[in-house]
Amino acid sequence: MPNPVSPFLQNQGFLILDGGLATELEARGKNISDPLWSAKVLVEDPDFLRTVHYDYLVSGADCIVSASYQATVEGFVRRGLSEWEATSAMRLSVKLAVEARDLFWEKQENRKGRLRPLVASSVGPYGAYLADGSEYDGRYGLSRADLVAFHRDRWFLLADCGADLLACETIPSLSETHALLDLLRETPDKHALFSFSCRDAETLHDGNRLADALTPLSRSEQVVAVGANCVPPSLVAGLIRTISGATSKPVMVYPNSGESWNAESKTWYGTADPVDFAAASSEWYRSGATVIGGCCRTGPEHVRAMRSTLEEESAKTD
Confidence (pLDDT) at 66: 96
Residue 137's contacts (CB-CB under 8 Å, 6 or more residues apart) are 127, 172, 205, 206
- Whether 52 is covered by a domain: the verdict is yes
Domain residues for 106?
6-317
User: How far is residue 69 from each of residues 39, 66, 116, 121, 127, measured CA to CA in Å?
Assistant: 8, 7, 23, 8, 10
- Whether 90 is covered by a domain: the verdict is yes
- Whether 56 is covered by a domain: the verdict is yes
Instruction: Indicate the SS3 state at residue 63.
Output: strand
Confidence (pLDDT) at 188: 97
Confidence (pLDDT) at 216: 97
Q: Are 60 and 304 in contact (CB under 8 A)?
A: yes
Confidence (pLDDT) at 262: 63
pLDDT per residue as tens digits for the range 70-96: 889 998 898 888 999 999 999 999 999
pLDDT per residue as tens digits for the range 150-202: 999 999 999 999 999 999 999 999 999 999 999 999 999 999 999 999 999 99
Give the pairing of strands 260-262 and 118-123: unpaired
Q: How many domains does one find in the chain?
A: 1
Q: Residue 155: which region, alpha, beta or left (left: phi > 0; alpha: psi -120 to 50)?
A: alpha
Confidence (pLDDT) at 78: 87
Which whole number is the average pLDDT over 240-259? Answer: 94
What residues pair up with 119 in beta bridges, in sequence order? 64
- Whether 133 is covered by a domain: the verdict is yes
Cα–Cα dist 257/271, whole Å:
8
Q: Residue 315: which region, alpha, beta or left (left: phi > 0; alpha: psi -120 to 50)?
A: alpha
CATH code for the domain in which residue 217 is found = 3.20.20.330
pTM assigned to the model: 0.94
- Whether 58 is covered by a domain: the verdict is yes
Residue 18's contacts (CB-CB under 8 Å, 6 or more residues apart) are 53, 56, 61, 63, 64, 65, 293, 294, 303
Does the structure show a pLDDT above 70 at 45?
Answer: yes
Confidence (pLDDT) at 135: 82
Confidence (pLDDT) at 264: 65
- Whether 1 is covered by a domain: the verdict is no
pLDDT per residue as tens digits for the range 115-154: 999 999 999 999 988 878 888 888 888 999 999 999 999 9
